[in-house]
A and B are shown apart, each in its own frame.
Chain A
Amino acid sequence: MSAVARPAPVRALGRPVGALAGGWLALVILAAVCAPLLTPYAYDVQSLREAYQPASRTHWLGTDEFGRDLLTRLIYGARTSLSVSGIAIFLSVVSGMTLGAAAAWFGGWFDRVVTVAVDLTWSFPEILIALILVAIIGPGTTGTMVAISVAYLAQFTRLTRAQILTLKGETFIEAARSLGASDGHILFRHLLPNALAPVLVSAMLATGDAIILEATLGFFGLGAQPPVPSWGGMMSAGSALVFKAPWIIVFPGLTVAVTVVAINLFGDALIAELDIRNRLQGRP
């Protein structure tokens, strides 16, 4: 009989790895939100006199080919990268859960159509789907967002459908029915809440992938358009100068890598905490 259980994310922070990863993520998000308060520089004001400066006391991470402060651009870049991938995954989760739950609930021809569409999408790499969509919609943040959310739609549809199908067979669903519960009650009070946790964890891990996808699209010049900074766009600009001013590509690259690893580690900690078996471990 433990005390009232704290929410899983809080418990995940209690693990050393979870705390480290969560700390980094909190730092990045905080920096993105408070960007103007943190840096005296603007992300788009060029000062060619100061171009190609390595790290110094005035420019902690150096400057780029237009003399813009790299740290400033990284922080504003976090705004673009995090919001684009975050909103994209949010849209993807909402539509995927709706589609997956409807397929599992109604079954029949609707389920078959959804399953075939999902399997078809599943067989293409996300990057390919995203590239095709951006090509159709046109480059920019909106195009990237839509492209990413469609690219991950299949994953959440499939996961939600599988969850709901499994849960439908649980005795507590039959118990609710025996009490006279309506379909709406069963769907919204039992099935969806129980399906939510795994979908959210998978959404968290997908956000890491989405950051890479957003950076990739940015690298190809299909993401946020200059002068708005994005991590991918910064790496793209730095790639031509990798020998002259390596820091221009190294720091955005490191930031992407560390952030994605942090998301994955925090996701793993969350999985471990949400796992019922883990909670019961040590029972004889």
Chain B
Amino acid sequence: MTALLQVTDLSVAIGALRLLDGVSLSVERGQILGLVGESGSGKSLTATAAMGLLPLIGGRVTGGAVYFDGRDLARMSEAERRGLRGRRIGFVTQNPMTALDPVQRVGEQIDVVSRLHLGLSKAAARARTVDLMTQLRIPEAAAVAEAWPHQLSGGMKQRIVIAMALAGEPDLIIADEPTTALDVTVQAQIIQILGGLVRERGMGLLLITHDMGVVAQVCDRVAVLYAGRLAEDGAVGPIFAAPAHPYTAALIGCIPQDGMAPGSLRGIPGVVPSARAFPSGCRFHPRCARATPDCAAQVPPLAPRGAAGAGRAACLHMLPEAG
């Protein structure tokens, strides 16, 4: 069976800046892939490429390909790609404040998706809208559908944006930091609802986040990006239990947890390098405690990590399997 979304060895540049370098990942039906990394790692750019929207931001694919349901996006016409977006690929943005049209009632904004993509009548579309909103645990959905965006809280708006993404009955949802702008109690609810719906309906979800806690909570697989390259990927369980790449381990160590002794919260020294001046060899080596002269000289290949099928990591000095 072909993967729903397959990104193969993708390289992307904007102008002279080579921002993505040989990134591969795949999302299966009914599966949640977490794409993590610090800002500037290329997460959002990967999502933009997966939707075939690179030209909008002046980017171009310089190598590799993106396949949706086995078909190469680059070989489709723009009309075909447009047909995919909204219909088969739903998108949830980071900022729900700007994702909604301020002068249209929220229900109508959801209606229009199912009318356009599924050809539903006005009444049928509204029934579906209310149904979707109820599934997203919006109380009194029919009444809320008549509200204007400015009358709703941030969390409620984000649910409307998710309802819009779901309205076209998509096979894949791409969510770019969907809860970053929300309060913590609301973030927890939305992540849980989104995860539940994706599994129930057998959709794929590409969840872009900087928060390893969110990944641990809902994702099946995780891909860690660093400075435009894949650092590590694989199933969530083994990776959190024993990360092979020092960067993955560092990202996990950044999250304060119960019972941590003072001073034990570890950051990552330095900053994400600019695409104007990526370091040689392994791009993480200037910030890495395990780096040796080899790391600066040689680009580490993606190699299997740990047991067979447990994923891959691009590191010359992988961390030993922890017990």
Contacts and interface: CB of A to CB of B under 8 A. Distances in A.
The secondary-structure label for the interface of chain A is loop
A283 B19 CA distance: 10
Contacts of B40: 283-284
Interface in B21-48: 40, 42, 45
Contact of A282 (B14, B42, B228): B14
Contacts of B269: none
B275 interface: yes
Interface in A233-284: 282-284
Contacts of A282: 14-15, 17, 275-276
Contacts of B17: 282, 284
B45 A284 contact: yes
Contacts of B45: 284
Contacts of B62: none
Interface residues of B, number: 11
Interface range on chain A (Cβ under 8 Å from partner): under 10
Contacts of A283: 40, 274
A280 to B, nearest CB: 11
Interface string B1-16: 0000000000000110
Interface string A203-243: 00000000000000000000000000000000000000000
B43 to A, nearest CB: 10
A14 to B, nearest CB: 18
B231 to A, nearest CB: 16
Contacts of B275: 282, 284
A58 B77 CA distance: 66
Contacts of B42: 284
Contacts of A284: 14, 17, 19, 40, 42, 45, 228, 274-275
Nearest to B20: A284
Nearest to A283: B274
Contacts of B274: 283-284
A284 B38 CA distance: 12
B51 to A, nearest CB: 18
B188 to A, nearest CB: 29
Interface string B208-246: 000000000000000000001000000000000000000
A119 B45 CA distance: 45
Contacts of B14: 282, 284
A284 B276 CA distance: 9
Contacts of B276: 282
9 contacts: A282-B14, A282-B15, A282-B17, A282-B276, A283-B274, A284-B17, A284-B19, A284-B40, A284-B45
Given A282-B15, A282-B17, A284-B275, 13 more contacts: A282-B14, A282-B275, A282-B276, A283-B40, A283-B274, A284-B14, A284-B17, A284-B19, A284-B40, A284-B42, A284-B45, A284-B228, A284-B274
List of 7 A-B pairs having minimum Cβ-Cβ separation, nearest first: A284-B275, A284-B19, A284-B40, A282-B17, A282-B15, A284-B42, A284-B17
